[in-house]
Amino acid sequence: MRKTLAAIALLATAGLTLTACADDPDGDATSSTGSDSTAAFNDADVNFAQLMIPHHEQAIEMAQMAQGRASNGEVLELAESIEAAQGPEIETLEGWLEAWGEEVTSGGMGGMDHGDMGDDSGGAMSGMMDEEEMNGLMEASGADWDRMFLEMMIEHHEGAVEMAQVEVDQGENPDAVALAEKIISDQQAEIAQMQQLLES
């Protein structure tokens, strides 16, 4: 009986020790939940953040054009939703890069030829519009703008999903992988919505 009680006490003590270690930010066990951007990261995480920032910036640039151009209320609402979602994600990605001591990238949201941006392994960034396409969207209005926006944003979202899937498959940082999974889920849902709007 004494041996059993001693064993239980030992296990309880060990459990408390492990819990304390997990909760201690200075301990060896680093939490992988919440906003812990200091957890382990690899090149895939850095690449994901550096490429997704200008990718999101272009999506916001496109969405902001909806004001005064879109004729369909659902398209305008979708554009506002895209801008509201991706702005905070850009801030999160920038925060991670700063925490990791990596270069914070930006497309500048100024109509540059985003389509030529790429990484060491894949050429042009998937789904990015070039300067001519962005100018064409800027010059359109009404139903023509709605159609162009939906077609371009579907392609843009498909590129983001592709980039995010690479992060899910190859990334190491748990927060970055979680954001990539969220991007996939959110943007696949928006792609389906945009396809329905094109068919209506």
Report domain extents, the chain: 1-30, 33-199
Q: What is the pLDDT of residue 105?
A: 81
What is the predicted pLDDT for the residue at 1? 47
pLDDT at 31: 35
Q: What are the phi and psi torsion angles at 78 (to 5°)?
A: -65, -45
The ranges of the chain with pLDDT < 70 are 1-38, 107-124
CA-closest candidate to residue 159, choices 127, 187, 191: 127
Q: Could you read off the pLDDT of 84-136 as tens digits, one per residue? A: 999 999 999 999 999 999 999 875 543 334 444 444 333 458 899 999 999 99
The pTM score is 0.75
Q: Residue 76: CB partners within 8 Å, gap ≥ 6?
A: 66, 67, 70
At 61 the pLDDT is: 97
Provide the CATH topology of domain 33-199. Answer: Ferritin (1.20.1260)
Output the pLDDT for position 149.
98
